[in-house]
């Protein structure tokens, strides 16, 4: 299957990337290892998990309607409410139909001017652009998993990076 863009992840960044692609009239598929949207907020459900910036600052600001129809119940929202918010965003913007859930990207390579992305489900997708957590990859290159650390210095957590990947961010 071939698309203008392939987006990896259904967290804050991925959902917005898919929405933006659709808004721009591009064909897009999202690929997410989890069975649903949420990203970090799907995977991290430990007691006490919550955002540490104010909830209103953590929500999307690109759509006034979206902002007006969601009221945060706490100044610093807890994980269940943030996940509920992202579920709401996905439904309101009708984003789920663009996603393959429960599919992990196991390989991405740049071939003949296109990205070829293979998933753990055995599917293969081709795309002119590849976005991982909203970051665009435009050409070939290499980055190993151990080269990539999240901002808290953790390597290889579920919100992490492509294994055995060949790409440039």
Q: What residues line the site for ligand FAD (CB under 6 A)?
A: 8-14, 31-34, 39-40, 42, 44, 49, 51-53, 58, 104-105, 133, 158-160, 162
Point out the residue whose Cβ comes nearest to ligand FAD: 39
Using an 8 Å Cβ cutoff, are 86 and 96 in contact? no
Task: Using the minimum distance from each CB to ligand FAD, give the nearer residue, 128 or 134.
Answer: 134
Q: How far is the CB of 139 from ligand FAD (least distance, A)?
A: 19
Q: How far is the CB of 138 from ligand FAD (least distance, A)?
A: 19
Task: Using the minimum distance from each CB to ligand FAD, give the nearer residue, 128 or 159.
Answer: 159
Task: Using the minimum distance from each CB to ligand FAD, give the nearer residue, 104 or 123.
Answer: 104
Instruction: State the DSSP string of 58-122.
Output: HS--S-HHHHHT---SSSS-BHHHHHHHHHHHHHHTT-GGGEE-S--EEEEEEETTEEEEEETTS
CA geometry: angle 45, 164, 129, nearest 5 deg:
85
Q: How far is the CB of 15 from ligand FAD (least distance, A)?
A: 7
Report d(CA 73, CA 70) in Å as an integer: 10
């Amino acid at each position: 299957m071939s698309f203008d863009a392939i987006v990896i992840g259904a967290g804050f960044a991925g959902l917005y990337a898919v929405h933006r692609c659709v808004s721009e009239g591009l064909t897009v598929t999202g690929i997410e290892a989890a069975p649903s949207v949420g990203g970090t907020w799907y995977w991290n459900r430990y007691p006490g998990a919550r955002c540490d910036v104010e909830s209103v600052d953590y929500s999307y600001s690109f759509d006034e309607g979206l902002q007006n129809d969601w009221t945060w119940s706490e100044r610093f929202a807890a994980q269940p409410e943030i996940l509920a918010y992202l579920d709401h965003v996905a439904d309101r913007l009708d984003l789920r139909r663009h996603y393959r859930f429960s599919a992990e990207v196991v390989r991405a390579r740049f071939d003949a001017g296109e990205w070829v992305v293979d998933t753990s489900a055995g599917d293969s997708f081709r795309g002119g652009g590849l976005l991982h957590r909203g970051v665009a990859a435009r050409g070939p290159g290499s980055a190993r998993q151990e080269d990539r650390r999240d901002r808290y210095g953790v390597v290889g957590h579920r919100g992490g990076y492509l294994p055995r990947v060949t790409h440039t961010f």
